[in-house]
């Protein structure tokens, strides 16, 4: 059955359709009532229905609708803008600073820092500046790029593009106490391209002082008898590429230790040595000789420490020590060279005479003695070694046992013996580097069995016996009338003539092949009949003076470096002397200058050096054009 459709007339279609409004309850009733009644409280029947209007809304309503549409479009545009440009927003956390350090360095050694600024943002950075605050003990050497300030702490890096990076490399020397931690603080300031104010980022990096560039080696016997003398040698070395200044070496002795020899002498008390400067690769030694107090079986410790003086504070660098066991002496052993047990010196080419003596001081038999010896040092001529048993050095080592020395099979109480050998010093010795000088060193080790029913074996290690080689200084003195090129350097008649004045040039030359010399002086007496003219004086180094009261002429130099060969004649002093012979001098050769005497101190060996050269006369053997013209002749 078809659904019946209702028809409306045109007038009915135009009338508004009325929808019943259901009454509301609760607290909203008062509000609804106010809306649907007039001022008199009478209900407005027209408000009971909602009419659909076919005309346009009122003008204010259209304005509100337009404004809403434009607001919606604006919000959409802004959201799209921020969504589209999200990658170009600046986030301060995207700029980082890293301080790269070596982690651990040796004190007074070189350290390398790498400081890296990274721009992880999508905008460029302008006016980028990096500053570094260094810890105490840091000495700047160079930077790449160069710093922009005199304090070597500021770098201007300009701009860093989005996603870019710039680094600064800094080199320097870091000094501190071993085990301490040094912190470098860095900060970078910058201005993003789309900002008008600056930002900053900070970072730090630490370096641990893990070791020292100063090396200490303490050598000596690890067993000693109470009351007997023992010798210990400390060798110190600067292993860095730079000089070390204000180095302090401090000895720590066990209780009761009695010092007998300290070489060189300490600057403070009997235990502190101070070095103003130790060059790169420089080395030196300190010898301590003394005796221990205690009982057999006691252990004592002897040590050294190296410190760097920095202002009013000191920084401990490295230590070296030996633990010494005090024992009852079984065999008394001594090693001598040229009659000396320590502090021995020798000259290039000299023969060294060694004696190794041993004596059984116990109440037990000593058997199967083996003596091992090592000879070292750049001044030793290994091929020159000789003993009474036909031994030879192999890798600079030699040993004696019962096969070579039958007496070593057994040593009764109170019995003694001696092994003698010789070696020569090279001439010239091998060149040495640093502050040290050429040496020959000997060290002996005795191994022996003690017949005590336990087959005990005892080792006796002797301290190293060092021979310091003294510098070979070579002074020369000569008189000349003509120079090396035939030029005239004197004046007056030649041969010298009675009643007339003849002047001669006197020259001193000095060479030094081995060690640096200090406080060198050459002196000579001028005879009474000879005149000091004061003319034509010349020195290449030092000062020449003449004392008229004592008639002594002197040439002084504060220091003479090693390697100055006499044949080069580069270090010289010249002065002029004249004579006016009398008729009584006719037929004689006159003395111009008495014997010349050189004195100096060897800077390495610490010994006084002396050399004497013969007098100078009018007979000039080194002046070929003037040869044979030294005898005084009569005047016309």
User: Which residues are within 8 A (CB) of 312 and not within 5 positions of it... i.e. 6 or more apart?
Assistant: none
* Triad 344, 347, 353: Cα angle to 5°: 55
Q: How far is CA 178 from CA 104, 211, 251, 304, 317, in A?
A: 10, 6, 18, 15, 5
Tell me what pLDDT residue 5 has: 43
Per DSSP bridges, beta strands 109-119 and 95-100 are antiparallel
331 close to 360: Cβ distance less than 8 angstroms: yes
137 close to 109: Cβ distance less than 8 angstroms: no
Instruction: Say whether 311 sits in a helix, a strand or coil.
Output: coil
pLDDT above 70: percentage of residues in the chain: 83
Tell me what pLDDT residue 38 has: 56
Tell me what pLDDT residue 334 has: 92
How many Å is the maximal CA-CA distance in the chain? 184
Give the C-alpha separation, 507 to 476, whole Å.
8
Spell out, as residue ranges, where the chain has pLDDT lower than 70: 1-88, 329, 434-435, 450-457, 564-568
Q: Which two tokens stand for residue 503?
A: 């002047």
Whole-prediction pTM = 0.52
Q: What is the DSSP string of 483-545?
A: -TTS-B-SBS-SS-BTTS-EEEEEEEEEEE-SS-EEEEEEEEEPPTTEEE---S-EESSSEEE
Give the C-alpha separation, 564 to 542, whole Å.
14
- For residue 448, give the nearest of 435, 464, 461 by alpha carbon: 461
User: Which residues are within 8 A (CB) of 406 and not within 5 positions of it... i.e. 6 or more apart?
Assistant: none
Strands laid side by side in the 229-238 sheet: 214-220, 229-238, 283-291, 258-263
Give the C-alpha separation, 373 to 352, whole Å.
15
Tell me what pLDDT residue 213 has: 82
Query: What percent of the residues of the chain are helix, what percent strand, and what percent coil, each to the nearest 5?
Result: 10, 50, 40
Give the C-alpha separation, 392 to 396, whole Å.
9
Report how far apart the first and last C-alpha atoms of the chain are (Å, whole number). Answer: 184
199 close to 97: Cβ distance less than 8 angstroms: no
326-362 pLDDT, tens per residue? 877 678 899 999 999 888 999 999 999 999 999 988 7
Domains detected in the chain: 92-211 (2.60.40.10), 214-326 (2.60.40.1530), 331-469 (2.60.40.740), 473-626 (2.60.40)
Instruction: Say whether 567 sits in a helix, a strand or coil.
Output: helix
Per DSSP bridges, beta strands 351-360 and 331-337 are antiparallel
Ramachandran bin of 528, using left for φ above 0, alpha for ψ from -120 to 50, beta for the remaining angles = alpha
Q: How far is CA 628 from CA 68, 543, 622, 632, 633, in A?
A: 132, 33, 11, 11, 12
Instruction: Say whether 175 sits in a helix, a strand or coil.
Output: coil
Q: Which two tokens stand for residue 301?
A: 């410790």
Give the C-alpha separation, 426 to 160, whole Å.
66
Counting DSSP H helices and E strands in the chain, the numbers are 3, 41
97 close to 188: Cβ distance less than 8 angstroms: yes
Q: Which two tokens stand for residue 560?
A: 């003479």
Q: How many CB atoms lie within 10 A of CB 382?
A: 15
Q: What is the DSSP string of 60-100?
A: HHHHHHHHHHHHHHHHHHHHHHHHHTGGG---GGGEEEEEE
Contacts 24+ apart (CB under 8 A), 79-88: 87/122, 88/122, 88/123, 88/194
Give the C-alpha separation, 612 to 523, whole Å.
10
Give the C-alpha separation, 241 to 318, whole Å.
18
């Amino acid at each position: 059955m078809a659904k019946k459709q209702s028809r409306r007339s045109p007038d009915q279609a135009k009338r508004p359709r009325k929808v019943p409004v259901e009454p509301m309850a609760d607290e909203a009733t008062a509000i609804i009532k106010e809306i649907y009644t007039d001022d008199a409280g009478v209900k407005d029947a027209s408000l009971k229905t909602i009419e659909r209007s076919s005309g346009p809304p009122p003008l204010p309503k259209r304005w509100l609708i337009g404004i809403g549409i434009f607001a919606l479009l604006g919000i959409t545009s802004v959201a799209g803008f921020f969504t589209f440009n999200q990658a170009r927003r600046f986030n301060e956390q995207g700029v980082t600073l890293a301080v790269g350090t070596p982690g651990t360095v040796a004190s007074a050694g070189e350290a390398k820092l790498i400081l890296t600024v990274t721009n992880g943002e999508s905008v460029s950075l302008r006016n980028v500046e990096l500053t570094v605050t260094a810890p105490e003990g840091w000495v700047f050497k160079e930077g790449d790029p160069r710093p922009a300030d005199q304090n070597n702490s500021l770098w201007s890096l300009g701009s860093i593009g989005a996603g870019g990076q710039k680094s600064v490399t800094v080199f320097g020397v870091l000094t501190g106490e071993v085990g301490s931690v040094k912190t470098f603080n860095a900060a970078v300031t910058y201005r993003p391209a789309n900002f008008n104010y600056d930002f900053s980022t900070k970072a730090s990096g630490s370096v641990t002082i893990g070791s020292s560039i100063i090396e200490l080696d303490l050598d000596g016997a690890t067993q000693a008898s109470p009351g007997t003398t023992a010798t210990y040698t400390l060798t110190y070395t600067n292993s860095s590429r730079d000089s070390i200044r204000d180095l302090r070496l401090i000895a720590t002795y066990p209780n009761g230790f009695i010092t007998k020899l300290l070489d060189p002498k300490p600057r403070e008390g009997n235990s502190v040595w101070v070095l103003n400067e130790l060059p790169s690769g420089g080395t030196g030694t300190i010898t301590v000789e003394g005796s221990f107090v205690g009982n057999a079986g006691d252990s004592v410790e002897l040590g050294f420490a190296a410190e760097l003086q920095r202002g009013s504070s000191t920084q401990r660098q490295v230590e070296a020590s030996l633990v010494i066991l005090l024992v009852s002496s079984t065999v008394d052993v001594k090693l001598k060279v040229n009659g000396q047990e320590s502090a021995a010196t020798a000259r290039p080419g000299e023969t060294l005479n060694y004696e190794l003596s041993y004596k059984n001081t116990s109440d037990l038999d000593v058997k199967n003695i083996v003596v091992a010896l090592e000879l070292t040092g750049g001044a030793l001529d290994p091929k020159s070694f000789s003993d009474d048993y036909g031994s030879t050095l192999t890798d600079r080592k030699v040993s004696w046992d019962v096969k070579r020395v039958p007496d070593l099979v057994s040593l009764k109480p109170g019995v003694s013996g001696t092994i003698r050998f010789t070696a020569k010093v090279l001439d010239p010795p091998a060149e040495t580097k640093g502050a040290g000088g050429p040496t020959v060193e000997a060290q002996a080790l005795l191994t022996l069995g003690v017949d005590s029913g336990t087959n005990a074996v005892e080792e006796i290690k002797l301290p190293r016996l060092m021979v310091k080689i003294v510098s070979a200084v070579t002074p020369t003195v000569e008189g000349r009338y003509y120079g090396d090129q035939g030029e005239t350097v004197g004046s007056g008649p030649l041969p010298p003539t009675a009643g007339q004045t003849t002047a001669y040039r006197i020259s001193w030359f000095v060479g030094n092949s081995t060690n640096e010399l200090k406080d060198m002086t050459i002196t000579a007496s001028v005879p009474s009949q000879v005149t000091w003219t004061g003319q034509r004086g010349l020195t290449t180094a030092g000062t020449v003076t003449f004392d008229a009261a004592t008639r002594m002429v002197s040439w002084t130099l504060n220091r003479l470096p090693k390697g100055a060969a006499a044949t080069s004649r580069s270090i010289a002093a010249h002065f002029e002397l004249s004579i006016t012979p009398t008729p009584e001098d006719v037929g004689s050769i006159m003395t111009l200058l008495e014997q010349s005497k050189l004195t100096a101190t060897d800077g390495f060996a610490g010994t006084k050096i002396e050399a004497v050269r013969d007098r100078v006369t009018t007979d000039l053997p080194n002046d070929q054009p003037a040869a044979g013209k030294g005898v005084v002749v009569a005047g016309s």
